[in-house]
Structure 1
């Protein structure tokens, strides 16, 4: 199936490793020019070299997700460098943590506010695109109780609701908005890699709940994300897609 991505311009926040990196890599493989932002410049440089080897233009910016001006500046520079923007994928995250107040601030500033700031900054360019698409990356932990009360789960749930509201508001302006929630995913440097060592019971419990008795690989999540963001998914608007290998048990009406 032709996804219609060749020549389009995409920005992926949190795109230097894990799910974000896999999404950006698949976009580049489909002929999409890609811009990423993340914390570490070394990982960004490595990712950019990989993307460019696929014959597309690529750029990246090291920044802290809680710094609003930095996030906005990355989006502005992407639009300027690419002379436009077609796809924005909001994937920056502070990850999980406890229910302590400091984690609420971290997840609010990084997961939620980086997404809202990026969308706001990208809007003028996206409304000029004929294939405008926004994809918000949340988590299956926003859909049902998981592990323990924590900021990560609740803030991601806010993103799910916000994405649906955006979809209704932006579609008349020619911009599709959708949300994708991955299940537990293992990749180098992931939270689950740390949990497997430091909290083995939590890790084992998650594996037991997974029908396949394994966690997802980042590329398995990325394939669904790239489709949902692409022109091939033109009739998907306001969708909340759970990509969790059957982990969640609730019926999605």
Structure 2
């Protein structure tokens, strides 16, 4: 299937490792110019080199996801560098944590507010695109009780509701908005890599609930993400796609 993405201008928050990086590099492989932001300057530069190896342009900024003005500036700078924007993927995340109050503030700022700030800045450019799309990366942890009460799960649930509301509001402007719910995913530097060592019983318990008895690879999640953002999915908006290898047990009506 031709995704018809070649020449598109794409911005991915949290695009230097894991799922975000796989999304960014897969867009580049489809012929898109790609901008990323994340914390580490070194990983930003390595990912930009991978993006540019596909013969496309890259842009990247190291920033803290809690820094609202930095997120806004990166979004504006991306649009200036590329001369517009067609696709915005919001995948910045604070990760897991506990139910401690500090993690609630951290998840609120990084998972939720970084997305709202990026969308606000990108909106004027997206509405000028002929194939505008926003993808919000949530988590299957928003869909059912998972591990223990924590801010991460609740903030990911909030993103689902927000993305659906955006889809209704932006549809008349020609901007599609969808949400992705990845299941447990293993990649270098992931929380699951740490949990496998430090909390082996928790890790084993999650694997037992996974019908395939393995975790996802980042690229397996990225393929669904890129499809949802492409013109090939032009009649899909307001949807939440769960990509978890059958992990969750609820029936989606």
Q: 2 CA distance for matches of 1:104 and 1:51?
A: 34
C-alpha distance after superposition, 1:42-83 (max 9, x if no partner): 000000011101000001000000000000000000000000
2:114 maps to: 114
1:60 maps to: 60
**Unpaired stretches in structure 1, ≥5 consecutive residues:** none
1:216 maps to: 216
**CA RMSD of the aligned region, Å?**
0.3
Q: 2 CA distance for matches of 1:184 and 1:228?
A: 20
2:73 maps to: 73
Q: 1 CA distance for matches of 2:173 and 2:200?
A: 48
TM-score by length of 2: 1.00
Q: How does 1:107-186 map to 2 (within 5 A)?
A: 107-186=107-186
Q: CA deviation at 1:213?
A: 0.2
Q: CA deviation at 1:102?
A: 0.2
**Unpaired stretches in structure 2, ≥5 consecutive residues:** none
Q: CA deviation at 1:197?
A: 0.5
Q: CA deviation at 1:248?
A: 0.3
Q: Give SS of 2:35's match.
A: strand
Q: CA deviation at 1:170?
A: 0.3
TM-score by length of 1: 1.00
2:100 maps to: 100
Q: 2 CA distance for matches of 1:155 and 1:51?
A: 30
